[in-house]
Amino acid sequence: MVFVSSIRRAIQQRSRLFLPTPVHLPRESKSNSQSLLQEAAIVHSVEHGFPQLLPLGVRVLTKLKKVIRFEMNAVGGQELSLPAIGRRNMWEASDRWNLMHNELFKFKDHNEEYCLSPTHEEAITKLVSSVCKSVARSNYPLLLYQITWKYRNEPNYRHGLLRTKEFLMKGFKNSLFLRRFYPSSFDLDLYSFHRSEECAQQVYEQVCDAYERIFQKLELKCFKVPADSGLMGGSLNHEFLGISPVGEDTVLTCSTCGRGSLTNKPQCEHTEKVEQRAIELGHCFLLGDRYTKAFDAIEGSSDVTEDKKPLIMGCYGIGLTRLMAAAVEILTPRGSSDIRWPRRIVPYQVAILPPKKGSPEEANGNKQTLGRLLQLDNNEWFVDDRTELTIGYRLKDCQKMGVPIVITFGKRATKQNLCEVIDVYNNRTEYLSYEDTLKFIQDYYSVFC
């Protein structure tokens, strides 16, 4: 076959991708994303609330982390990593060992009691407390974040990645955290520390703006709404909600002003409000001095005792694995078997489908153009080299996976010495030369990436 000898290592071969046949597909799930992600081998299963991400899922997650890191760094965040395990005495200092008793995975080791951390307010505040007396005033506001797996003993895990026991979280410890508890996910936590309420409020608005930019880059329309603080406490907090029938929040949206609010916190005076279900995409909190006072995190640059006050804290969180699933829920039309991703985080940007083995297109095909495409050094492309299968079958696989652009070599393209470029998300097809194909793809992604 012409393409076999042309494939470079930079172009991934579909036959070598680890895409196992899905097992234990969910029955009668209300979640669109749960079945779609498993059928496309993005997620293998979420057995008992613990997700198994396959290579395609990790590619999506890696790109999502890149989007979030850019915005967190832009507001002055510095990334660190905190232990997943917390000691009982640390959690007792904030009284959350008892308050969150049922949500904590607890265990003993050498007569010491520990938990798997569902959040890191205690750990980050203890860290800052241990060094704050030597931190110069010029270091404030201090914004620290991590992207890490979190664990919560969620008895009602469901909807695939939307509600799990293990989850990847982005946290920005300004002093934050979520009032809902999801068994497991990969999350962002951002925590910020300030010398004054005024500074804390300014940073809070800046981080909220950064969250809105993140969701805009992910092509997700969201509503920023005032919310309850729950066990987190604090004086101010907002949720960022995306409309979806599988959501567990109820939001009132107004077509006149374009704003939304929770049903128990109406913010709009217009009467043309619609009640809709929504998924929580992120949450921001101003925590005040609840944790800094408990851990004696005091601004220590002054020698005057009365000037030594607890730092003011803020906290901001996004569940990355949850956001992956939420994006699929929101962007993929109900009833469709083809995933729609935000273009910035697609598993692969382009798929190449050579002609079927033994077909007239293979014998008379545009070997030169196909060979040039396969020589491109681009790890965002893959070639579906399963040429024993028809182009139509392989195209359907690409659509299920959520690949936005597919290049095929069917009858018309072969006859005219062109590439058949299928814009999957916009349901259109172009017949282009090699040069115009590359320009089409570059222009397509320049809007999103």
Q: Is the pLDDT of residue 88 over 70?
A: yes
Distance between CA atoms of residues 405 and 441, nearest Å? 8
Per-residue model confidence (pLDDT) at position 232? 59
> 3-class DSSP state for residue 60?
helix
Q: Does the global pTM surpass 0.75?
A: yes
Decide: helix, strand or coil at residue 193: strand
For residue 165, the model assigns a pLDDT of: 42
Task: Give the position of tokens 């999506």.
Answer: 60
The type of residue at 245 is: P
pLDDT tens-place string over residues 153-211: 766 655 556 554 444 445 544 433 333 434 456 788 999 999 999 999 999 999 999 99
What the chain holds in terms of domains, given with CATH numbers, is 13-331 (3.30.930.10), 350-447 (3.40.50.800)
Phi, psi of 237 (to 5 degrees): -160, 150
Statement: residue 407 has pLDDT above 90: yes
135 vs 384 pLDDT, higher one: 384
Rounded to 10°, the helix 320-331/55-74 angle is 110
Please state, rounded to an integer, the average pLDDT across all residues of the chain.
Answer: 86
CA–CA distance, 130 with 140 (Å, rounded to integer): 16
Per DSSP (E only), the strands in 22-68 are 43-47, 50-53
Integer Cα distance of 199 and 39 in angstroms: 48
Lowest mean pLDDT among 59-73, 184-198, 347-361: 184-198
Closest CA to 61 of 135, 167, 142, 156: 167
State how far the Cα of 163 lies from the Cα of 46, in Å rounded to an integer.
10
pLDDT of residue 172: 45
**pLDDT at site 327:** 96
Query: What is the DSSP secondary-structure string of 96-158?
Result: HHHHTGGG-EEEEETTEEEEE-S--HHHHHHHHHHHGGG--GGG-SEEEEEEEEEE---TT-B
Specify which residues 168 forms β-bridges with.
149, 186
